[in-house]
Structure 1
Amino acid sequence: MRKGFVLNGRYQIIKRLGEGGMADVYLAKDLILDRLVAVKVLRLDFRDDKKAQERFRHEAMAATALDNPHIVGIYDVDEMDGMQYIAMEYIDGEDLKYYIKNHFPIPYAQVIDILEQILSAVHEAHRHNIIHRDLKPKNVLIDKNGYAKITDFGISKAESENTMTQTRSIVGSIHYLSPEQIKGQVANQQSDIYSLGIILYEMLTGKVPFNGETAVSIAIKHSQTPIPSVRDFDPRIPQALENVVLKATTKDPRNRYDTVAQMADDLRTSLDQSRANEAKFTSELDDDAEQTRVMPFAPLRPELVEAAAKANDESAKDDVKDTENRNVSPKKKPGKYKRKVALTILVVILVLSGLTMVLLARIGSKASVPNLTNLTRQTAIKRLAQNDLAVGKITYEANDEVEKNNVVKTNPQAGRSVRKKTKVNLTVSSGPKLIKLENYVGQDYKVIANKLSILGFTVKRRNASSSTFKAGKILQQDFKPGQKAVPKNKVITFIVSTGVKQITLENLTGMSKEQVISYMNEQGINPVFDYVYSNIQDKGKVVKQSPGAGQTIQQGSSVVVYLSRGKQKTQKAITSFNVRIKIPFEDATTTGQNKTTNTAYSQRKANPSLAVSSDSVSSEANSSSEISSSSSDEDSTADADSSPTKPTENIVLIYLKDHDHTFASVYKQMVITKDTNVILPFKLGDNEVGKYKVIRNGKVILRENNVTADSN
């Protein structure tokens, strides 16, 4: 794209930053929020490639689900004339590959600091069960202050997706790829940990551990050749720090760190004096067959012992008969008789010895099944190997008590005595049971809220006036119909019609936050909370309100309620500033939504009990119960109150995060009929970063994840 080109009427191209295998990256100016962004655009030659399009969408989906200061933020995902693009946070700096080249040798403390930041980002991805699969210095950006952020989730996979590509091809960068990925096996958290170990190796030595003329030769080295010692390159490197590299890059993933959190803990203390004399890390033997064992003497087989005893009895009988035939008394043949007795005793001893050896052999070949409940799958596999037991079938089942990917039970059960090498089946938790959510628009709020509360969901209510829906009916929901969620982790927000009614406000002074919410829910109005110091009201009590007591407002409107922080004390400085944003009005009469909205309106008018189509809602709640934008290409709306003869009212929800507010609840709700300017008041302490996002008719239209007083 040429300089000056405006993408989708919002992003003005400044210059090209770089290009990759599938996409070009440009520096652009966001004309709405007046800031620099990086815009990643799918290349023209890939726009008809469905796999490339899917990978491009997947990158945006994966990164949008993550919220960590060391992951490049995604601001917008859209397309223009078939041209897909992602608008993301612009990092003014260089990637880690160039950083190593330009700053090597890097002080050990700085190496640890950079890798800790990377580990923090990967931990966030793993917490959402997302495996990056392509961690390398090129995908880590370092700004001018040494702040690290990872990017490019294009080939990441959910850990639950236990599948490989159909071609069993290798996906990722060969210099940083784990042995199991090279073999075509499923990548997991330990695979990312291996790549992190290679990155640490490169930061310490300035080069990758393995090179070769072909990718195949490098792959073979990763699979078979031990990682070279970083202390051979630089003897000053502490052994504890080298041990982090060695443990992260063992060939068998079972010998690596179980989690990146464990790796971070080990890395954090690697320069401590207490670990100065630490021994070099060595991994356990991967194959029990490599160990030398002293085998017990093989006992006589019972059938041979029985045959020998029988032969001895028959021989004794023949000797007696022969003596009788000769008319000679056995007493007269004491030597021969004694030999027979001795032979009998010998056979008995052999039998007893054989039985004893069989018993000892059986005792020596037994093992007890360990208690693996609540252990991670990888830890359980290690524990079985330590007890000379093998892993059998692994199955998954929903469980509300045991954390996802942890063992629920074993078969045989814990404590059972079994033969060594016996396969033990593992039942692993797939997490709590998921409940499917439906389209509740147009239904009675109290009935639906009660039903969902019984299932375990937390249900919140926001109010909005409506001339179409009767009071108490659901206007909008913050999740997509058909979405599955864990009840105990899910907060559901409904926007409920109040009809059209005037309310005279009571005096709220002295009320608690809970009392205010209860009162406003009864009256069908919405609170906007702010916080001030007060020498009169106790902490958490209402100091004042706006509009004031006795004033009349329309149901569905908002009231600003100021809660007491308590008395003024000497505290960390809090900076107050305002951010001005413009919320564009979306007129359904000028968009492709008009037909859908008018049809839904006509259907409801003809049949008021008819629920709105599921296409009318696309807002989706993420794992932290915040509203996130849907990745669907369909632009949906939950505003069902438009008639064919008047402009659609836009329902706007604003979420704000600062010293006093979190994303867990709506900061402000508005109904707009034209482009509207809004001032957002922020209060931030030292090292605090603010956020906001604006949702219009169920879709995120504005988002900022890095609000500071300096950036304002």
Structure 2
Amino acid sequence: MIGRQLGNRYEILEQLGGGGMAIVYKGRDTFLNRLVTIKVLRPEFSSDKDFTRRFRREAQAVASLSHPNIVSIYDVGQEDDIQYLVMEYVDGEDLKTVIRREGAMPPEKAVQIAFQILEALEHAHENNIVHRDIKPHNILITKSGRAKLTDFGIAREATAATITQTDTIVGSVHYLSPEQARGELAGPQSDLYSLGVVLYEMLTGSVPFAGDSPIAVAIKHIQEEPEPPSRRNPAVSPGLEQVVLRAMQKNPQSRFASARDMARHLEDLFARDGEEVTRFIPLDEMATRVLKPVEKPREEGVRRRRLRPVGWVALALLLVALLAGGAFALSNYLEGPPPVTVPSVINKDLSEAQRILADLGLQVAVRKVHHPKIPEGYVIDQDIGPEHAPIKPPRVITLTVSLGPDLREVPDLYRLPLEGARIRLAERGLVLAEQVQKDYDDNVPPDLIFQQSPAAGERVAPNTPVTVYLSLGPKPRQSKVPNLIGLTMEQARVKLAENNLSLDENVEWVESTDYFQNQVIIQDPAPDSIVNQGTSVKVTLSKGPGPVPKEVRVKVPLPNDGQAHQVKIVINDVRGTTLAYVNTHQPGETVVTTVRYYGRATIEVYVDNKLVKQKPLQEGKNDDDD
């Protein structure tokens, strides 16, 4: 595969790794000249049509997600039997590698990573997309410390194979929710359970459940309660432990209501400990914080020593000092600002909300998110409000403030092919409308886009369909088909060329007694049809024997007006137009003559160039006495 180019666009540079379902490569997008990650499905999955159809549908849905903590999907395609997925290239390593190298993380670092994944899940769940395969292998940590969630595109399919494919899904089963282990439908709370397991592993360096087989691990998820993480790492506080264990409740209804709810509990937990937690800041930009050491419990049975008299004196002095210090601290507490009830500032302008809270001695932290209805700069939510117990200033109140609607700028699709437009739109979180219009355009080559709606530069909501118009090339000019009946093949070819048309070289020959050999007897399109210039006209030619000549007697009485008159007789038959007779006669004379014709014919009689008679000639009637 190395060096191969997929879809005439994605060059495979090197293999990065592989899993049970796919092999992962580093590649280059030759269109946009950027590094990408290419995930190629293994043959046993690529050959399953139902699987690949669902895989493409899921991947295209996830491609609409746009979030800094989600690895973007750029393209999904197929070449021969190869099904592949093109994603954002992340320069870093997966969280599983970090845990294996570092072991248990400091709680604050683990919570910072969890915050970022919760933000990603909140965005995905709001768009009705459930990941279904949250595990540290699918969480990438960039060199700057940002966490990015990946592998949405195959998550739905991975669930179905979790327990049965023991050689490929061993990593997934350790993070599986009980409902998934039972084969039930996964929902947003399933992702929260799996993230709870990941947070457990970050805090302790090990997964909560282990077993001899994937089946054994799955049964433990269904039946057993996890060991409290503080038993494996005493640095885990009781509050943080409660968050982890609630996320891992067997009943989905007993877990957090949403990713946002779980994040809020973590924020409240750190706020109670006097820490200000800022979400989604890369880890290498964070200031180092010193966590309060947790004292280990004293071992029982330690032999007590008798205190000597000097020890008793020292102890008495220490108690006096502690009592004095406690009294001083209590005095300072009582003299400090009294507890206040935090008012609701929801739907208020940020500056007004800050003023209201500042007047109460409270500090404000701001978290900004997009909202489809609330205008930019107005408060959407607050972590502590009037429903909470009074708090003592200065406490930090986290306000969620609207950035306004999450609008995406429509890219310019002019002169792009259809697939290129689909990719360009997906990068902006937009989709290509199902109905593709086609029309002529004098300036844009065929199969390229010459018009779009909405126009480039407009700002629209995510997932807005963009209608495109594909060029059919310049609008062709049109010509009227001439009458070729009775012409020879060469005459027909010349006549058609004069009208910017051509003769179809596939000529049919049939016997005819009405037309001479090599004459056109049928044409398609018919005479006077309007067609595009360059159209080929199909003809049928006579191969004989041709018509038998017939004769007709013509009588032409002339007026007796004292003047000579010219008489002219014209025959229109299969030969074309023939001048059969012309002569000058005396006044009052009756001209009688015989003329010859072939096949169906029309006779025209002119006196002094004025048409005086025109009639078709009937077969078997050889005179024109009337």
TM-score, with length taken from structure 1: 0.41
Instruction: State the structure with more CA Rg.
Output: 2
TM-score, with length taken from structure 2: 0.46
